[in-house]
Amino acid sequence: MGYVAPSTGRVIRAVLFDTFGSVVDWRSGVAREVSVFAARHHVELDEWAFADAWRSRYQPSMEPVRSGAREFVPLDVLHRENLLVTLTEFGLDPTGIHDAEIDALNTAWERLDPWPDSVEGLRVLGEQVIVGPLSNANLALLLHMAQRARLPWTVIVGSDATRAYKPDPRAYRNVAEMLRLEPGEVMLAAAHNGDLRAAGTAGLATAFFARPTEHGPAQTTDLRAEGTWDVVCDDIVDLARRIAEPGAARG
Amino acid sequence: MGYVAPSTGRVIRAVLFDTFGSVVDWRSGVAREVSVFAARHHVELDEWAFADAWRSRYQPSMEPVRSGAREFVPLDVLHRENLLVTLTEFGLDPTGIHDAEIDALNTAWERLDPWPDSVEGLRVLGEQVIVGPLSNANLALLLHMAQRARLPWTVIVGSDATRAYKPDPRAYRNVAEMLRLEPGEVMLAAAHNGDLRAAGTAGLATAFFARPTEHGPAQTTDLRAEGTWDVVCDDIVDLARRIAEPGAARG
């Protein structure tokens, strides 16, 4: 039968994950790539502050697309625009840097390490349900990330396929439709209460686990569940255990 | 370095496959499903003729979408419309059949067996390049097909992501763009000369292998290569051998 989500009353067929922060550690990965870039260009900068500054432009840059003021462009494009501004903010003139070097740094978002439980949790969960990302990232980024980090996704639907950015309800509903599932048969799993709130409003089931160091040691947000999510668990391995069919053999 | 396609002069990063007929045997699979359906409904019909009739409506049904006369709809929708007409043609009144029964028969296109070389060929090829379908089918259909037939795709981009039906050049170019590859870094592998002609015109590299019984024992079309394709080979295992980096260890 499978796991029935209390909020939707449906058997869950797919568990889809927020990716940056929930499955992979973007801050450490981006800081590492920035540090390599800085060393090669013989500049001194705080790579952690750079990672935070680059990331801080992430949500605002999607806003014009969400509102319809700007036509959909893949996240790669927004990341690159945000990178140019961030470089300038840190005193580097991007016009003095080769395009290929900018492009290479822009792919830092593909070279992020999974949290310790991610690969094993996804593997076990994937024996029972479809597992995939439900991220604002585009397919190429998610594919390269999965190949490097060995994330065992069943399927990857990028935001360039749904052409919508979370928390736009279409981002959640379009992926369910492409999987030929009802929204209530899909669960969003994330370390972000705001993402889960939007997913729940769009009709999806929800699972929360905290990533208390996503934003560094002094993190103050998303340390605990702030809603009545279907599952509140420790991490992805724990989630796989909770979703396991009662009585079914466990991997 | 990898395999350089003569026609594009580029190293091939992804080999994408036509699916119905090239990777899986649609005629036998659909005939089997139709036969089960006919038995359950206590009707006599020629399941092979039914499969051929249903398939004959496939290309014409995409034409209004290709021309822009009809907004894009997923292949599932076209398959179902074509099924209703085919049922009527075979003397069955679809209004007398439960919607759920029609829907179930419509998923026959997901329960198709791979040709004997397909799974092994894709597995070996997948060790060297990205392998995926480049089909007019939508994601859900391709995902269910892959799960049942154990097709080891690296990635699945359905026509509902590219929103274009082959041989529209956008069908080929959009998938390359989503993979962040130049068209010339992508190879279409197919048992259909017409598909390869369109892919070549769109800038892709091309590989041909024949499936001489796709249309049954009396097949007269696509028995041999009719163009100067980059690779002309026996089957997918042979293709994997040809694409293998010269001197590289072979699986």
Rounded Cα distance, B207 and B191, in Å: 8
Task: Please report the pLDDT score of residue A224 as a whole number.
Answer: 98
Partners of residue A158 in chain B, C-beta under 8 Å: 178
Report the gap between the CA of A46 and the closest CA in chain B (Å): 30
Rounded Cα distance, B209 and B222, in Å: 9
E runs forming strands in B28-185: 130-133
Here the tokens at position A225 are 């569940």
Q: Do B161 and A157 touch (CB under 8 A)?
A: yes
Q: Do A179 and B143 touch (CB under 8 A)?
A: yes
The answer to whether B155 contacts chain A (CB < 8 Å) is yes
The answer to whether B138 contacts chain A (CB < 8 Å) is yes
- Average pLDDT estimate for A210-227: 97
Report the gap between the CA of A181 and the closest CA in chain B (Å): 9
pTM beyond cutoff 0.90: yes
Residue tagged 């961030």 (tokens) = A86
Rounded Cα distance, B121 and B239, in Å: 7
Distance of CA A175 to the CA centre of its chain: 15
What ipTM was estimated for this complex? 0.93
Structural domains for chain B = 14-25+112-243 (3.40.50.1000), 26-110 (1.10.150.240)
Question: pLDDT over 70 for what percent of chain B?
Answer: 97
Q: How confident is the model at residue A246 (pLDDT cuts 50, 70, 90)?
A: low
Could you tell me how many CB contacts below 8 A there are between chain A and chain B?
Answer: 44
Question: pLDDT over 70 for what percent of chain A?
Answer: 97
CB count, 10 Å around CB of B221?
Answer: 11
Selected residue of A80, A128, A155 to mutate for chain B interface (largest B Cβ count, 10 A): A155
- Average pLDDT estimate for A69-83: 98
Encode pLDDT of A113-149 as tens digits. Answer: 999 999 999 999 999 999 999 999 999 999 999 999 9
Task: Name which of A140, A170, A136 is nearest A26 in CA terms.
Answer: A136
Contact A185, A12 (CB under 8 A): yes
Partners of residue B180 in chain A, C-beta under 8 Å: 76, 140
